[in-house]
Amino acid sequence: MEQPSLNDHNKQEYPPMHTTEHVINRTMVNLFGCGRAISAHIERKKSKLDFALQTCPEETDITRIENTVNEVLRRNLPVTMEFISQEEAIGRFDMKRLPEKASETVRIVKVGDYDECLCIGQHVKNNNRRLLTDRLKDMYGKELSDRYLELLNHHFIYKNDETNLANYCASITMYPWLNNGTIAVGGNSTAPTNLKSFCGGFVNMVFIVSSMLSGACATPEFLMYMNYFIGLEYGQEYYKYPDKIVDLSTKQRTIDKIITDCFEQIVYSINQPTGARNFQAVFWNVAYYDKYYFESLFGNFFFPDGSQPDWNSLSWLQKRFMKWFNKERTRTVLTFPVETMALLTKDGDVLDKEYGDFTAEMYSEGHSFFTYMSDNADSLSSCCRLRNEIQDNGFSYTLGAGGVSTGSKSVLTINLNRCIQHAVKSGILYPFFLEEVVDLVHKVQLAYNENLKLLQSKGMLPLFDAGYINMNRQYLTIGVNGLVEAAQFMGIEINDNPKYEAFVQEILGMIERYNRKYRTKDVLFNCEMIPAENVGVKHAKWDKEAGFQTFRECYNSYFYIVEDKSLNIVDKFRLH
C-alpha cells in the first residue's frame, strides 16, 4: 500500500516517551475535562507537559493521574495509525493544533481504544519491545540489541507474553492478604476474620493478583489457611467429627457439608471467565504435601495470632479436597486448580508411606494431577516440566504450587529445531550457533530484569511492593521448544537410547552451564520445556513456511513423541 504524503516533520522525538505523552494527555482530559497539553517538552530522561486547569491538582489527584497512566501502560495497548483528509477530521479533532502548512492528508495515532489524536511524530508499535531493546543497547551495545531483534523476527527465539508488562507467573504468599486484605494491591477488602470472609476474600484476592500476572497464579498456602479458619470456628479437632451438625438453619449442615460448600464456592468462582484475562479463567494452581515436605517448607510458619499450622487437621483437609475435586470433575468440566502432590523420598521410596499410598489410591480412582518426588525439599517440578536447583526451601516451579513468594518473571524460548537446522544447512557446527543463541537470551533476560526493577521503583508492580512475590526469588526462565523435532532432523530415534540421551544432555547441559554462569545472589535462572500450546503451533507453522522440516503441526513439549503409540507409560517415565 502506498504511503500517503504528509508534511515534513522537524522533530526527533524519543518514541516511548512521545507515546506516553498521548496516554497522559487522554488521562488529563478524562479526569479533569481539560484540553490536551498547551505545551510539551518531551525528552528521553526528562519531560514536561503544561495543562490549563482551573485549580492546581492536589496530591490525591496526582496519585490518581499516575495510577491511571501506569495502568494504561501496563496494558501495552497497540499503537496504530489511520490516514484521513482534513475535511474528515473536522469536528473529530482540534484542527487549530495543525501547523499552518499541514498536508491535506493527516494521520491519526491511536493508542488502543484509549486515545486517538492527530500526530505526525514517532511512536512505538510495541512499547515493551522498545523498552527492552533500549535497555539492551545501554547494557551490551547496539549490535547485540539488533541481533536480538533479528533472531526474534526470524523465529529462532520467542518472547512469551511480550505484549504484557505483568510478571509472567508466580507462586504467591498469602500472608500480606491475611494481615491487610487486598488494599495494597488495589482492592478494598480487609483481612479475613472467619471462614466465610476467607472464602469470599480468597476468590477476590486471586482475581486481583491474576490480573497482574500474564501466567499462572499458585496459592500453595490455600488449604493451610483454610484449615486455620475452619479450626477457629469448629475447633482444631474438627476433622474427627465431620458428621457433626453445626448449622442451626433448616438445612442442618454438618461440618463436612460446610467445608465442601466452601470448596464449591471457591472452585466454581475461580473457574469463571474474567474480563481482566481476555475472558479466560484464572490459571490457578494448588499443592498437597506429605508430612515431611510440609514440615520442611512450613515448619517455622506462624499465623498472626502466634499459632502454628496443625498437620493432622490439614492432612485430613488435603485428602478431603482432593477426593471432592476428583468427584466434582465427573459432574462438570473444571479446569482449575491444577494440582501437584509433593512427596519427600529416601533411597528410592517415599518417606511418608501414608501419603504414598494415598497418592496411588487417587491415581487408581482416575484422578489427574502431578506428582513430584524428591530426596530434598529444595526443588520442585511442574506441569511445565521445569527442573531447578536452589539453595533455600522457597522454590516453586514456573506454574507454581510448591514454594512461596516466587515464580517466573519472564520466559524467553529457544526454537531448537530452527536453530539446529539453520546451523547444519549453513555449514556451522550446531553447538557453536546454539551457544551464541543461549548466551544472547541470558543477556536479554538480564536486561528485562533491569526494566522490571525500574517498573517496581515507579510503583508499577504492586504485587512485589505488597510482599506477595519476592523479586529476588523470581526466576528468569529459558524456555526450550522443538527438541524432539531437532533430534528427528539429526536422524536420532526418539526413545530411550544412548544417542538421544547424549543429544538431550548436550542441549540442556549447555543451557544449565549458562544458567550458572549468569546467576547471582539477586538473579536466578531456570530451564523449562514450555507447554507450548500456542507457540508450539506457531513455531511449526513459521518453520514450515521457511522451508525447514517440522514433522508435525505442533512442536512437542515432552521428551517423547506424543503420537508414538509404541511407547508405554514406563517408557515415557524413563524418557523424562
DSSP assignment string, 159-173: ETTTT--SBSEEE--
As a whole number of angstroms, the distance between CA 190 and CA 393 comes to 30
Cα dihedral 505, 507, 512, 515, rounded to 10, equals 180
Question: How does DSSP classify residue 4?
Answer: P
- Residue 315 near residue 341 (C-beta atoms within 8 A): no
Return the residue matching grid coordinates 533411597: 347
pLDDT tens-digit map of 64-117: 998 888 888 877 788 888 888 888 888 888 888 787 777 788 888 888 889 998
- In one letter, which amino acid is 458? K
Q: What is the mean pLDDT of residues 191-199?
A: 96
pLDDT tens-digit map of 223-250: 999 999 999 999 999 999 999 999 989 9
- Residue 222 near residue 191 (C-beta atoms within 8 A): no
Bridge partner residues of 171 (DSSP): 218, 406
pLDDT tens-digit map of 310-365: 999 999 999 999 999 999 999 999 999 999 999 999 888 999 999 999 999 999 99
Question: How, if at all, do strands 370-374 and 217-218 pair?
Answer: unpaired
Residue 277: pLDDT over 70: no
As a whole number of angstroms, the distance between CA 15 and CA 388 comes to 39
As a whole number of angstroms, the distance between CA 202 and CA 265 comes to 10
> How far out from the chain centre does Cα 293 lie?
25
User: Interior CA angle at 284 toward 412 and 221, to 5°?
Assistant: 110
Output the pLDDT for position 165. 62
As a whole number of angstroms, the distance between CA 442 and CA 359 comes to 38
Rounded alpha-carbon distances, angstroms, from residue 283 to 195, 333, 334: 24, 15, 12
Rounded alpha-carbon distances, angstroms, from residue 567 to 498, 559, 570, 571: 17, 12, 8, 6
Residue 551 has φ and ψ, to the nearest 5°, of: 70, -25
- Residue 150 near residue 443 (C-beta atoms within 8 A): no
As a whole number of angstroms, the distance between CA 442 and CA 388 comes to 16
As a whole number of angstroms, the distance between CA 459 and CA 465 comes to 8
Output the pLDDT for position 3. 53
As a whole number of angstroms, the distance between CA 342 and CA 400 comes to 12
Output the pLDDT for position 243. 96
Q: Which three cell numbers stand for residue 241?
A: 467429627
Give residue 121's pLDDT band: very low, low, confident or very high (50, 70, 90): confident
**First-to-last CA distance in the chain?**
51
Provide the residue count of the chain.
576
Model pTM? 0.76
Sign of the alpha-carbon torsion through 23, 27, 30, 35: negative
Buried residues in 520-555 as b, exposed as e (16+ CB within 10 A): eeebbbbbbbbbbeebbebbbebbeeeebebbeebb
Residue 387: pLDDT over 50: no
Return the residue matching grid coordinates 514454594: 403
Q: E strands within 180-228?
A: 217-218
What rounded mean pLDDT belongs to the chain? 87
- In one letter, which amino acid is 364? S
Bridge partner residues of 79 (DSSP): 111
| pLDDT winner (highest mean) among 115-119, 120-124, 360-364, 401-405 | 360-364
pLDDT tens-digit map of 528-556: 888 777 899 999 999 999 999 999 999 98
Rounded alpha-carbon distances, angstroms, from residue 78 to 62, 112, 131: 26, 5, 14
